[in-house]
Amino acid sequence: MNTKQQRKEAYSYMRDRLNDVFSTWKNCVKEDDYQDVNDFILCFEYDEVEGYFSYTFGTGGPHDEVRFRVNYEGEIKQIEYFYEDWNVYYTIPIDLQSKRGKMLLDILYHWTGGSDWRELVDLAMPA
């Protein structure tokens, strides 16, 4: 069962993780060198069943990722931060129009070379 304290920890972890991601991204743009972002994102994949792309940042202690839910028209409809630690799960919505949402979309666009999401499926699917 998820407690108020666990929810608070998930939100705090998200805030700290995204602050690190955004700080790294800003430095990459400033230096025009994106290797630090490539090192930061452990995995980029597409979940066909659930219909989202995800950037995985951590895989254990806790596992966390950002999910970009898409529709068949190629539009990103929702951004979520997913957090899991010891069977405690939280999915935290991120407003597409918020500063966080816009920054995550900017990272997605630049990191993938501005590809249409249908093309990204090929990039994200395992060979």
**For residue 56, what pLDDT is reported?**
92
Residues of the chain below pLDDT 70: 1-2, 74, 113-127
Between CA 110 and CA 101 the distance in angstroms is 14
CA 16 to chain centre: 14
**For residue 120, what pLDDT is reported?**
64
Q: Which amino acid is at 59?
A: T
The DSSP line for 3-55 is: -HHHHHHHHHHHHHHHHHHHHHHHHHHHHT--HHHHHH--EEEEETTTTEEEE
**For residue 2, what pLDDT is reported?**
66
β-pair partners for 42: none
